[in-house]
Amino acid sequence: MKISNKAIQSITSVKSVQPHAVLGMHPHIKGKVNCLVVRAYVDDAKSCELVDVANAEGPRYKLQRLTKDGFFEGIIEDRDEVFKYRLRIERFNGEIRQFFDPYSFLPTLSEHDVYLFSEGSDHFLHRKMGAHIRTIDGVIGVSFAVWAPNAERVSVVGDFNHWDGHYHPMRSLGASGIWELFIPGLESGMKYKYEIGSRHGFPLLKTDPYGTFFEAPPYNASIICSVDDSYEWNDAEWIEHRAKSDWKNQPISVYEMHVGSWKSVVEDAARPLSYRELAIELVEYLKDMRYTHVEFMPLSEHPFDGSWGYQVTGFFAPTYRFGSPEDFMYLVDVLHQNEIGVIMDWVPAHFPTDSFALSQFDGTALYEHADPRQGFHQDWGTLIFNYGRNEVRGFLIASALAWCERYHIDGLRVDAVASMLYLDYSREEGQWIPNQHGGRENLEAIDFLRKTNDLVHKYYPGTLLIAEESTAFPGVTKPTSEGGLGFDLKWNMGWMHDTLEYFQKDPIYRKYEHHQLSFGMLYQYSENFTQVFSHDEIVHGKRSMLLKMPGEPISNKAHQLRLLYGLMWMWPGKKTLFMGSDFGQSAEWNYNKSLDWHLLQYLDHHGIQMVVRDLNRLYQEIPSLATGDNRPEGFEWINCTDAENSILTFLRKADAPTDDLTAVGNFTPVLREGFRVGVPHLGFWKEILNTDAKEYGGLGFGNNGGVLAEAVEWDGRPYSIKLDLPPQSMSVFRYQG
């Protein structure tokens, strides 16, 4: 025996941070003769021999078994240069196995890689960290790399070693905190985790933070899965078009959806549709409804269905629930081939406390802040990322870029941005720590958001960054070069709250709240907004969009909902609407069951759907709408003060007069006959939308397709049109000349 008992115990008790220094093949001097020593620690091995790869039929070199649990050592006296070899073991059951030694390979990360990781300047960490199928020196296997700077030791455990942390200890790459190991012979589909020896004296079993695929709860193991080159894309034309697009002047109508509750396969235990099934049914629906984009509520891996995906444990992995990563790629590819953009909800604001994931990853607060005043989210019982650590910022930036790179995502809607921006978000005095200037702004999170937005735009031109930000934080959609956060769009939460509050009032009282309809124009152009009615508005007792409307029966509510959508689409800003709301589902959204598609057999619901479809069509066909979304000169009030009649009138203007629109909303159940509205042009105004049309389920009042403007001054304008305004309706007229 040429090795000390202490060195053997460092391996068998898993205490060595440099197992490669002990195991594997090393030059050795026996007496005065140069030779080689080989050591291996293998599970369930009765005997172990070494086979020269270059001379597989030649003599084998027998290793001596030094411990009962499989530590072997052998001296090769007739050779002094390290060579490529395999280990050949015989198990106690007689099985023979031959494999390359994991401890015969150099690190798969260079010193430069490690430096960039620690500095936080490697934007594509997902290409190096985690588990990757690689070919090294002609040998196929899997390289593992994980960050655990405060760990006593780290091992890869999985199907391939009976989940025993003794047999694949990783090597430490010094002060970087990275642990690395290449294991030959591993394949896609094998499950694994990291066993981390903490300073508390007990091991932790953790999934891979950079994992690309995971098994179902309650086990949650990471699964080896090659995603970088696993799919042949057919969307090059779409990607090229996206890069050249001027999204500010193009229609963006987003269908927000939760994949698990969109539609069920009733005959198969009411399971949700798979990614590949969605590539048929969802694509057909979006095309028929004329949506330009679909927004998926988080499809990043998450253990608890009831979180709706917002408590993420797999920041690089599409959820297993609907298929494989390749299946998700196929869905995105088909959407692109049908000219539909894909937006993903992305959650860098917080993560859950599940013990198998990021929380206390190496036994210490690693991804989160140690101080709960900074690191614990009181509203959601989750943990807040430490944006001040280079390695954490690098992890999150890599996550954003990985969705764009691997899955060709066209946009990220960043969830809960307000909770990131403010240190005192949802906290009382004494429950938070001010920034270095004594303020409440989270300067590190702000810097992280700016950097992420800039990098996504740099590497993937045309990709949209959308903020769910509920405060008046300035410059959310300003470029970072001008001191802004660099987002492209911001959810217009203020307009949504004011408008819904108005619509939920009995029409008899609406005249007292008329200002709520016009107030939003005071700040409409302070940011690049998307008007939105999201999933958050139809859960937890808030009622569905249809049942928010006052009065009875359902047909009356449907009248008002069609009016509301007419106002939303004619109002400046991009559009975002949650699934089910576009056909007036009666029940609140339930994440655990399918939408009530059967309601479409009734005209009230089908009519709401038809209105949304026609609004999407008009939004895409009429230049004054999309091009005026972010230009103050594209909007002009005609009359916003007619509270007594509860009528709102405004213009949507374009460069050509024939694209000018006059929108007239009547917000009470009163038919207004002979109602005059001032207009800028003399001639014929075609009625292009009437939400009271019979085909929508309305009463059929209207203006017989259009009206001629007269030289009668009204609303401070030289001309006017005389209209019959249906009750609770939106009427839109396009100038024809």
Cis amide bond preceding 680, omega within 30: no
Q: Is the pLDDT of residue 614 over 80?
A: yes
Q: Which residues contact 96 (CB under 8 A, 6 or more apart)?
A: 88, 89, 90
725 neighbors 663 (Cβ within 8 angstroms): no
From CA 705, how far away is CA 720, in angstroms rounded? 17
- Indicate the helix (H) or strand (E) that contains 61: strand 61-65
Q: What is the DSSP letter of 517?
A: H
Q: Which one from 49, 415, 537, 660 is the annotated catalytic residue?
A: 415
| Tokens matching residue 699 | 């009463």
From CA 350, how far away is CA 442, in angstroms rounded? 14
Q: Could you state, in order of their start, the residue ranges of all structural domains in the chain?
A: 5-104, 111-223, 274-491, 631-735
Question: Is the CATH number 3.20.20.80 carried by domain 274-491?
Answer: yes
Q: What is the pLDDT of residue 285?
A: 98
Phi and psi (nearest 5°) for 346? -125, 135
State the CB neighbour count (10 A cutoff) for residue 329: 22
Question: What is the arithmetic mean of pLDDT over 465-477?
Answer: 96
Instruction: Say which residue the tokens 């910022």 belong to.
Output: 393
Least confident piece of the model among 28-32, 49-53, 119-123 = 28-32
Q: Is the pLDDT of residue 192 over 70?
A: yes
Residues in the chain: 737
Q: How much is the mean pLDDT over the chain?
A: 96
5-104 with 111-223: one CATH topology? Answer: yes
From CA 611, how far away is CA 593, in angstroms rounded? 25
Confidence class of residue 657 from pLDDT cuts 50, 70 and 90? Answer: confident
729 neighbors 691 (Cβ within 8 angstroms): yes
Q: Is 415 a catalytic residue?
A: yes
From CA 640, how far away is CA 642, in angstroms rounded? 6
State the CB neighbour count (10 A cutoff) for residue 150: 15
Q: Is the pLDDT of residue 399 over 80?
A: yes
From CA 96, how far away is CA 42, in angstroms rounded? 13
| Tokens matching residue 24 | 């594997």
Q: Is the pLDDT of residue 316 over 70?
A: yes
Q: Is the pLDDT of residue 343 over 90?
A: yes
**Beta-sheet strands, E only, within 581-712:** 635-639, 647-652, 661-666, 672-679, 684-690, 706-708
| Tokens matching residue 452 | 């992420």
From CA 265, how far away is CA 594, in angstroms rounded? 9
Helix (H, G, I), strand (E, B) or coil at 611: helix
371 neighbors 325 (Cβ within 8 angstroms): no
Q: What is the pLDDT of residue 321?
A: 97
Q: Is the pLDDT of residue 199 over 90?
A: no
Q: Is the pLDDT of residue 2 over 80?
A: no
From CA 215, how far away is CA 95, in angstroms rounded? 29
| Tokens matching residue 509 | 């009282």
Question: What is the arithmetic mean of pLDDT over 329-334?
Answer: 98
| Tokens matching residue 26 | 């090393």
Sheet with 178-184, strands from edge to edge, namely 130-136, 139-147, 178-184, 171-172
| Tokens matching residue 315 | 């920041």
Q: Which one from 101, 195, 333, 468 is the annotated catalytic residue?
A: 468
Up-side HSE of residue 598: CA atoms within 13 Å toward CB? 4
111-223: which CATH topology?
Answer: Immunoglobulin-like (2.60.40)
DSSP letters of 251-279? --EEEEE-GGGT-EEGGGTTEEPPHHHHH
Instruction: Quickly list H helices, 422-492.
Output: 443-459
Q: Cα–Cα–Cα angle for 481, 484, 488, nearest 5°? A: 95
Q: Is the pLDDT of residue 200 over 90?
A: no
Sign of CA dihedral 304, 310, 312, 316: positive
224 neighbors 142 (Cβ within 8 angstroms): yes
Up-side HSE of residue 288: CA atoms within 13 Å toward CB? 9
The listed CATH number (1.10.1060.10, 2.60.40.1180, 3.20.20.140, 3.90.180.10) that belongs to domain 631-735: 2.60.40.1180
Instruction: Say which residue the tokens 């000349």 belong to.
Output: 737
From CA 89, how far away is CA 85, in angstroms rounded? 13
Instruction: Say which residue the tokens 């695929």 belong to.
Output: 213
Q: Is the pLDDT of residue 7 over 80?
A: yes
DSSP letters of 335-390? HHHTT-EEEEEE--S-B---TTTTTTTTSS-SSB-SSHHHHEETTTTEE-B-TTSH
| Tokens matching residue 103 | 């401890």
Instruction: Say which residue the tokens 């998450």 belong to.
Output: 302
| Tokens matching residue 278 | 């969605």
Q: What is the DSSP letter of 680?
A: S
State the CB neighbour count (10 A cutoff) for residue 452: 25
447 neighbors 459 (Cβ within 8 angstroms): no
From CA 419, how far away is CA 469, in angstroms rounded? 8
From CA 149, how far away is CA 198, in angstroms rounded? 10
From CA 87, how far away is CA 103, in angstroms rounded? 11
Q: Which CATH superfamily is domain 5-104 in?
A: Immunoglobulins (2.60.40.10)
From CA 424, how far away is CA 418, in angstroms rounded? 10
Q: Is the pLDDT of residue 1 over 70?
A: no
172 neighbors 336 (Cβ within 8 angstroms): no
Q: Is the pLDDT of residue 58 over 90?
A: no
87 neighbors 39 (Cβ within 8 angstroms): no
For residue 271, the Cα-to-chain-centroid distance in whole angstroms is 23
Instruction: Count, in order, helices (H) and strands (E) of the chain.
Output: 15, 37
Question: What is the arithmetic mean of pLDDT over 650-672?
Answer: 94
| Tokens matching residue 381 | 């019982």
From CA 433, how far away is CA 123, in angstroms rounded? 30
Confidence class of residue 576 from pLDDT cuts 50, 70 and 90? Answer: very high
From CA 656, how far away is CA 138, in angstroms rounded? 66
Q: What is the pLDDT of residue 737?
A: 86
% of the chain residues with pLDDT over 70: 100
| Tokens matching residue 174 | 């010094």
Question: What is the arithmetic mean of pLDDT over 709-726?
Answer: 97
Question: What is the arithmetic mean of pLDDT over 480-509?
Answer: 97
From CA 106, how far away is CA 474, in angstroms rounded? 50
